[in-house]
A and B are shown apart, each in its own frame.
Chain A
Amino acid sequence: MKQETPEKTMRKTILSSLILIPIIPFILIIAIGYVGSRISIENRTVESMQRIVEDHRQMIDTFLRERRTNLEFVINTHQYEYLSKGRNLDSVYHNLRTISNAFVDLGVFDEEGLHVAYHGPYQLEGKIYKDEPWFKEVMETGMHISDVFLGFRDYPHFIIAVKKEENDRSWVLRATIDTHIFNTMVGRIRIGETGEAYIINREGLFQTQPRTGGDLLEKDPARAMYLRSHEGVKTYTGTRDFIREFGWFFGPTNPGIQDYLVATTWLKEKDWLLVARQEKRDAFSGLSATMYLIGAISIIGTAGIVFIAFNQTGRLLNRIREVSGEKATLENQLIHATRLAELGQMAAGFAHEINNPLQIIRSEYALVDFILKEMKEKREITNEEALEELEDSIRQIIVQVERCSGITQAILKFGRHSEPQIEDIELSGFIPEITETISNKASVNGISIKQIIDEKTPPVRADKGQLQQVLLNLFNNAIDAIVDRHGSQGGKLSVSAKPSDDAWIDIAVQDNGPGISPENIDKIFSPFFTTKAPGKGTGLGLSVCYGIVENLGGKMTVSSQPGRGTTFTIRLPASG
């Protein structure tokens, strides 16, 4: 399995928090806004639906009541004998037709259910209706509005019948209502594009034809839901599941019962249920617009959050990378400094031990030298040539011992941890004193010395002797470097001092020597590192300087451009 790099993990963490933290409240606000506007739109839609349905019911009730009243008027203003004569009935029918063309026919029945007189498109006279439920009911209650039925005519219709008690007998006047006209009237409802209205009876059979299908007297598939007794207008908004809710988004589908906003109300004139319904996507079209708006805001907002998150993550990671880099550099420097200190102590130990054998060599040399001289004086050695070679060889012993002893002395200085005597040193006086001591050597080599000491430079906190040692070392190195490149002409050595900020002072020693190659610049402060010829340098000078400056609480750095020159900078604490 591939291991994720820490940076990738960090990137994921930062990215997910930068995205999640703003996006959660954002989604909450969007959701609350959506729910709020949805509730308000739904309530408004439902209320308006209820109002329309209530108005519609009143109109239908009025129609039925008027038709009944028409018949009651006729039955109350005419005698049975009069109306049972076909001619008279015809004229009454025509009068009624002038009031409402919904009357299809008109018939008179005696109390035995015999169809005595009839005006209309069918031949119904002489038929016996005694056992028909409507007849029974009208005889009992005095009035009846039937459900739609087929009857003898085998054609869907409904009737209104009224009874009159006259002297010792009763009779019935019955009219058939044009289902087409009724149908049109009920169906004519203005609710959006998909709104429709129809009537079902107690059994759930269609009493008028719904616009969206279903024949008269068929059972309404949704009857189970609507057929309840209730006062006023009852609405059904259906369930709210996601697919139905956002169905409009996925394209058109055949609407089911659940896709309708439904309002029902019972008529007052007849136990019929008026059902009005509208497809929800039509009813709540205001909601869709809101949804589009909210969707757009969500997408733009989310995209914005994600964009900012990616952007910020990139910047954060870059910053973290920079800081880690700085940390690594600091750690390296610390390790380097620690190593230098350890190396210094170890070297001091070696130096001490080497001093003893060196001392013996010196003693032996002195003895040999002394004896040789004695023998020479006494003329005990006659081979002049051999004697000379011997003397030269012996001299070399002491030269090499001197060299070793120079190295051990330098090592011991390097490893020494004596407490510096810190005092305030005024650089404007101190630096010229030191440059004075090298001015001869510089002028002999044709080197011009420039001193730039900023007037605002405060005194530096350091040990005079140590600072002198460091500067002299740097000057001598610089002169060696310059001579190496320019010979005895065109050398430039500059020393400058200026405050670097409130607490520090920078002293820079710059030469126009050959510079230091990049592969050497890292090792320049390491003990025993030298580019000088064997025997010319111990390789300890700069590392001693480095140690001294560190010990003074300062920093020593080098920058060099090969072919242009080198600058050593000492940063020391300022006084005060």
Chain B
Amino acid sequence: MHTQHAEYWITNMKLLIVDDEERFLQSTKKLLDRKGFDVRTAPGGEECLEILEKERIDVVVLDIKMPGIGGMESLKRIKRRHPTIEVIMLTGHGTGEYAVDALIWGAADFLLKPISMPELIAKVEEAVARRHVLEEKIRLARAIKAESDESEPDKSVNNENRKE
């Protein structure tokens, strides 16, 4: 079961790249697709949030300066709604205030454009690994819980009720 999970994470990592530069989305998607990632793209904050509602995404690469909902606002909303999703900020505007704010709001990393693709991929993989560990941790925690719930079915029912 464990192995199955790990393979799932490596081969089925779902990546969402959010940037208002159409050409950047295209070329990056093509490259990462070829590297075996499952890549979605969004040209802005609204589209990003829509996709996150519909699909399960593991890592978001998020630009800061975008028309509409900017990167920082998107980060806040993503983290509020999906706290376990890893968000990597990637921006041409590498100022200190953004970096500190982004990390406070829960961004996994703060990268400066232009970044080389191998570097970006490495950062994404790091994030995926962290996400995997976290998911695994949650899964195990739930499994333990389920086992103990089986021995104490009353509490389990209560828990289920509470969740809904």
B interface footprint on A360-398 (CB within 8 Å = 1, 0 otherwise): 111111110011001000000000000000000000001
Q: Is A309 an interface residue (CB 8 A)?
A: no
Which of B4-12, B72-80, B88-96 interfaces with chain A?
B88-96
Q: Interface of A with B (CB < 8 Å)?
A: 351-356, 358-367, 370-371, 374, 398, 401, 404-405, 409, 412, 416, 418
Complex: how many Å from CA A355 to CA B24? 12
Report whether A355 and B117 are in contact in the complex, using a CB–CB cutoff of 8 Å.
no
Q: Which of A356, A364, A404, A418 has the most CB of B within 10 A?
A: A356
Asked, given contacts A352-B92, A360-B23, A412-B94, whether A366 binds B116 with beta carbons under 8 Å apart, the answer is: yes
A interface footprint on B82-113 (CB within 8 Å = 1, 0 otherwise): 00000000111111100000000000000011
Report whether A355 and B112 are in contact in the complex, using a CB–CB cutoff of 8 Å.
yes
Which of B26-34, B42-50, B138-146, B154-162 interfaces with chain A?
B26-34
15 A-B pairs within 8 Å (CB atoms) are namely: A352-B65, A353-B92, A355-B92, A358-B114, A359-B21, A362-B114, A363-B27, A366-B27, A366-B116, A366-B118, A370-B34, A371-B34, A412-B94, A416-B95, A416-B96
Question: Apart from A370-B35, A371-B34, what 9 extra A-B contacts exist at CB < 8 Å?
Answer: A352-B92, A355-B113, A356-B24, A356-B92, A359-B90, A363-B31, A366-B116, A367-B31, A370-B34
By a CB distance below 8 angstroms, the chain A residues around B116 are: 362, 366, 398
Q: Which residue of B lies closest to A398 (CB)?
A: B116
Smallest CB separation, A400 vs chain B (Å)? 11
Report whether B27 and A367 are in contact in the complex, using a CB–CB cutoff of 8 Å.
yes
Asked, given contacts A367-B31, A370-B34, whether A356 binds B113 with beta carbons under 8 Å apart, the answer is: yes
By a CB distance below 8 angstroms, the chain A residues around B112 are: 355, 409
Q: Is B115 an interface residue (CB 8 A)?
A: yes
Smallest CB separation, A548 vs chain B (Å)? 15
Report whether B27 and A418 are in contact in the complex, using a CB–CB cutoff of 8 Å.
no
* Interface members, chain B 108-151 (any A CB < 8 Å): 112-118
Report whether B113 and A363 are in contact in the complex, using a CB–CB cutoff of 8 Å.
no
By a CB distance below 8 angstroms, the chain B residues around A363 are: 24, 27-28, 31, 117
Asked, given contacts A352-B93, A353-B92, A412-B94, whether A359 binds B24 with beta carbons under 8 Å apart, the answer is: yes
Smallest CB separation, A188 vs chain B (Å)? 120
**Pairs of residues from A and B, 5 with the lowest C-beta to C-beta distance, nearest first:** A355-B92, A366-B117, A358-B114, A359-B113, A363-B27
Smallest CB separation, B95 vs chain A (Å)? 7
Report whether A359 and B95 are in contact in the complex, using a CB–CB cutoff of 8 Å.
no
Smallest CB separation, B14 vs chain A (Å)? 19
Complex: how many Å from CA A409 to CA B113? 10
Smallest CB separation, A351 vs chain B (Å)? 8
Q: Which residue of B lies closest to A361 (CB)?
A: B114
By a CB distance below 8 angstroms, the chain A residues around B27 are: 360, 363-364, 366-367
Q: Which residue of A lies closest to B27 (CB)?
A: A363
Report whether A405 and B95 are in contact in the complex, using a CB–CB cutoff of 8 Å.
no
Asked, given contacts A360-B21, A363-B24, A363-B28, whether A418 binds B96 with beta carbons under 8 Å apart, the answer is: yes
